[in-house]
Structure 1
Amino acid sequence: MPLTLFDDLVRPALAQALTLVMPVECGGCGAADVNLCERCVDELRPHPSRRALAGVDGDVPLWSGLRFEGVAARVIRAVKEDGRTSLISSLTPALNAAVAKVSPPADTVVVPLPTSRAAYRRRGYRVPDRLAARTTLPVARLLRTARRTADQRGLTIMQRRENVSLSMRSMDAAGRRVIVLDDVVTTGATLQEAIRALRSAGAIVLGAVTVAATPRQASSEYQTSAKSERRI
C-alpha cells in the first residue's frame, strides 16, 4: 500500500483505536482525545512567505507555507521527534501552497533533501520524503549525502554554511526542472548546498519550498520594503 494511502486511511483508524488503550492529545495544543483539534487545524491554514536564498546565483525563490512558531512548530516537532507521522496530512495544504507559488511547469519534479543516517536511525523514516509524497508533483530523490556534517543547532550562519559545504551530490539530474524541498528553513544554508549540488549535476532549479520558516527568516509575500529584501 502506498505510504500516502496508508497515512490517509490506516493511520487515522489506528490512532482512533489507540485512544481506547492509551491517551491521545492534540499535536498542536495538547487537548485530550484528539489527534489535532479544530482550532489547531485552523492555525495551520497556509500563509505563504517568500525569501531569496543568499549565496545562490540568480533568482531562486524560497517559499514557505507557515511560520515556524506556535501550533505549526509544535506539530512539526511532533512529526519529527515524536513519530506522529499522521500529522503530516495537516501540513500538506501549507506545503502545496508553497509549491504553487513557484508556478512549476508540468515536467517539474520535487527533490527532497537527504536525511542523515543518524536521523533515519533515530526516526525510522525520512521527513522530507514523507512531505514530498504529499505534494502535487512527482518526487525524484536526486540528492545524496556526500559526507557527514555536524548538528546545525547552535551554529552561526557562517558556521552552518561551512558545515554543509560540499556535503551533497546529485546524479541523473541533467536538464531536469526541480523544486528543492525541506521541512523547515532557518538560515537557508542546507538548501543553498542542495541547489549547488543539483546545478553541478545539470539540473534547472526553479525554487525551494518548506512547510515553515523560522520567524526571523520569514516575511510577508506582500512586503516590498528594504527590510523584506533581507536575505537568508
Structure 2
Amino acid sequence: MTSTPAPPAPVRRPVSDALLDAAAVLLPVRCAGCSVPDRSVCTACARSLAPHVRTRTVAGIAVCSAFDYDGVPRAVLLAYKDAGRVDAAPALAGALRAAVAGVEVSVSVGAGGGVRDRVVPVLIPSTRAAWRRRGYHPTGMVLSRSRILDPPLWRALRLTRQTADQAGLSSTDRERNREGSIVASGRLSGRRCLIVDDILTTGATLAEAARAITAAGGMVVGAATIAQTPRHR
C-alpha cells in the first residue's frame, strides 16, 4: 500500500459560514459524524474527513481511497447511506475528488485525445432493494457534488441478478455473491473507464465490475472510492 500527500483542506469563506450558521439556527440539525447540534458536519468532524489518499491493488487495478472506513468517516458514511442524511454528501465530495485525483496522477488521465480518449466514470449499480430504500444512488450523488470528470454514463453497468447484501459476508462469499452478477453496456467499448464506488472492502465488487467492462471492450484505468476498510494482518 502506498500513500500520497493529502491536498490542503478547502478554505471556508466568511459569508458561507454565516449562511450555514443562520441555517443551523432556523433548521437545527445534528452532525452526521458525532450527533452534536451543529451543521450537517461539524468543524471537528470536517477535519476528520480531510482526505489522506491511499492506494492498493485489487485484481490488478489501482484503487485510490480517500480515508479508512473507521471513526468519523464511517459514522458519516453510515448516516449518509442508511439514515437519509443526504445533507452530508457535500462533506464527502471533497474526499472522492481527492481519490479520483490520485488515480488521475497514477495513470496520466486526460492527456490529449478526443472524447473517446477521456476517462468516463462508471458507477457500481445499486440493487433494486437499495434503490427503493434510499431513492438515490449514494455514490452518484457524491460524484455529482465533486464536480470532476465527465458525468457517468447512466446504466453503463447493470445487475444481471439481485445479489445479497455484502455486509457480513466473508471474502469467499462476497466473491461468490458478485460472480457473474454485472454486465456492461456496449457503449463502454473502446472507452477508458474509472470505476467509482463508496467503500472498498474485499474488492469483489470492483473485480466483477472490471471483468464486465473488459468483456464489453472497455479498458479499466483504475478505481476510486471514498473509503476503504482497514486491512488487518
Q: TM-score, normalised by structure 2?
A: 0.81
Alpha-carbon distance in 2 for matches of 1:179, 1:144: 16
1:220 aligned residue: none
Instruction: Tell me by how many angstroms 1:33 deviates.
Output: 3.2
1:105 aligned residue: 109
Matches within 5 A, 1:33-112: 33-53=38-58, 56=59, 59-103=60-104, 104-106=108-110, 107-112=118-123
Relative distance call for 1:197 and 1:19 in structure 2 (3 A) is farther
Instruction: Tell me by how many angstroms 1:95 deviates.
Output: 0.9
Alpha-carbon distance in 2 for matches of 1:70, 1:208: 23
Q: Please give the per-residue CA displacement for 1:17-61, whole angstroms capped at 9, x wherever unaligned.
A: 58546x5111111111322111111111111111111xx3xx310
Is 1:137–2:149 an aligned residue pair? yes
Alpha-carbon distance in 2 for matches of 1:123, 1:16: 28
2:14 aligned residue: none
Number of residue equivalences: 201
Alpha-carbon distance in 2 for matches of 1:153, 1:182: 15
CA contact (8 A) 1:111 1:132 kept: no
Instruction: Tell me by how many angstroms 1:132 deviates.
Output: 2.5
Alpha-carbon distance in 1 for matches of 2:179, 2:220: 18
1:185 aligned residue: 200
Instruction: Tell me by how many angstroms 1:16 deviates.
Output: 6.3
Q: Please give the per-residue CA displacement for 1:85-136, whole angstroms capped at 9, x wherever unaligned.
A: 1211111121111111112522111111101110000011111211222251
Relative distance call for 1:30 and 1:63 in structure 2 (3 A) is same
Percent identity over paired residues: 40
Letter in 1 for 2:49: L
CA contact (8 A) 1:149 1:167 kept: yes
* Deviant stretches of 4+, over 4 Å: 13-19
The Cα RMSD (Å) is 2.0
Alpha-carbon distance in 1 for matches of 2:85, 2:79: 6
Gaps of 5+ in 1: 1-12, 218-226, 228-232
Alpha-carbon distance in 2 for matches of 1:132, 1:45: 17
Relative distance call for 1:135 and 1:202 in structure 2 (3 A) is farther
Q: Please give the per-residue CA displacement for 1:124-170, whole angstroms capped at 9, x wherever unaligned.
A: 11112112222511122310111111121221101100111010101
2:115 aligned residue: none
Letter in 1 for 2:172: M
CA contact (8 A) 1:65 1:95 kept: yes
- Partner of 1:105, secondary structure, is coil
Q: TM-score, normalised by structure 1?
A: 0.81
1:208 aligned residue: 223
Letter in 1 for 2:62: P
Alpha-carbon distance in 2 for matches of 1:201, 1:14: 46
Relative distance call for 1:94 and 1:14 in structure 2 (3 A) is closer
Relative distance call for 1:33 and 1:100 in structure 2 (3 A) is closer
2:160 aligned residue: 146
Alpha-carbon distance in 1 for matches of 2:23, 2:49: 25
